[in-house]
């Protein structure tokens, strides 16, 4: 049975939520999942991606997510857009993120591709 759109979006949202919480309990990734950021591979496999979410210093700068939207295209890819708010909080800086997620029929992320802008002033 094919995975529904709501479940695909939930899989992507779990990943996005973990960017802030660093709690990977709800994030399901395939062992061969990769992550590409601005054309550079930043996640070599599922275990590496989960470890980065949980302990990676690059994600410790994120203190909030806002404006999350998601849709599933005709191929089943989840396309998201959101803002990551980065520390220090007092500066009110956020970057716009456009991210796509491939999700298998077991609800596991199999590929993540991210693009983002430079942080700019965008208070919560």
CATH code: domain of residue 92: 3.10.450.50
Which residues, 6+ apart, have CB-to-CB distance to 99 below 8 Å?
A: 12, 16, 79, 80, 81, 82, 112, 113, 114, 115
Domain range for 48 is: 5-121
Q: What is the pLDDT of residues 53-102, one digit of tens each?
A: 999 999 999 999 999 999 999 999 999 999 999 999 999 999 999 999 99
Cis peptide leading into residue 23 (ω within 30°): no
Find out whether 50 and 24 touch, Cβ atoms under 8 Å: yes
Structure tokens at 50: 């989960």
Question: How far is residue 47 CA from its own chain's centroid?
Answer: 15
Q: What is the pLDDT of residues 8-45, one digit of tens each?
A: 999 999 999 999 999 999 999 999 999 999 999 999 99
User: Into how many domains does the chain fold?
Assistant: 1
Query: CA-to-CA distance for 106 and 29, rounded, in angstroms?
Result: 10
Q: What pLDDT is attached to residue 2?
A: 81
């Amino acid at each position: 049975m094919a995975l529904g759109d709501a479940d695909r979006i939930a899989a992507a949202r779990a990943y996005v939520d973990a960017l802030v919480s660093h709690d990977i309990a709800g994030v399901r990734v395939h062992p061969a999942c990769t992550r590409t950021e601005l054309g550079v591979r930043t996640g070599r496999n599922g275990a590496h991606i989960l470890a980065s979410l949980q302990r990676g210093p690059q994600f410790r700068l994120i203190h909030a997510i806002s404006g999350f939207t998601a849709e599933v295209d005709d191929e089943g890819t989840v396309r998201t857009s959101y803002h990551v708010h980065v520390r220090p909080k007092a500066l009110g800086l956020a970057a716009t993120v456009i991210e796509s997620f491939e999700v298998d029929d077991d609800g596991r992320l199999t590929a993540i591709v991210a693009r983002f802008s430079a942080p700019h002033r965008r208070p919560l």
